[in-house]
Amino acid sequence: MSIEQVRRVYKYTLQRTEKQTISLPAHGHLLKIAMQDGNLCIWWQFTEGHGVQDFNFLTVGTGHAIPENMSVSYIDSVFDGPFVWHIYIVDTLESIIKKRFG
């Protein structure tokens, strides 16, 4: 008997703070970051049944410093009235190794 794996998309709200950790379903990926109703939101697609994983996000305003001692990957920039937020995900050890060694 075959068990069908269900894919879903959920929306999560990011705070307008420099660093934050969000628990998201594991084995998923980011579809979109955008403002909705005054909130900074992400849409995350995942397959059910793989638990959750913590992801660290960095949100930086235009002209603000990006910490040099932090390995990050750029995701997208979002317009918020007169502000533009640049969103990064903080690299895990696994992703750093993949970047450096393939």
**How many helices and strands, by DSSP H and E, does the chain display?**
1, 7
Tens of pLDDT, residues 75-100: 999 999 999 999 999 876 665 555 56
> What is the CB-side half-sphere exposure of residue 74 using CA atoms within 13 A?
6
Domain positions in the chain are 7-101
Name, in order, each residue with C-beta under 8 angstroms of 36's C-beta and a sequence gap of 6 or more.
Answer: 11
Q: Which of 64, 86, 70 is nearest to 14 (CA)?
A: 86
pLDDT for 100? 60
**With bands split at pLDDT 50, 70 and 90, how would you rate the model's confidence at 1?**
very low
Q: Which of 76, 66, 74 is nearest to 35 (CA)?
A: 76
pTM equals 0.80
Phi, psi of 23 (to 5 degrees): -85, 120
Name, in order, each residue with C-beta under 8 angstroms of 78's C-beta and a sequence gap of 6 or more.
Answer: 33, 34, 35, 40, 84, 85, 87
Tens of pLDDT, residues 31-59: 999 999 999 999 999 999 899 999 999 99
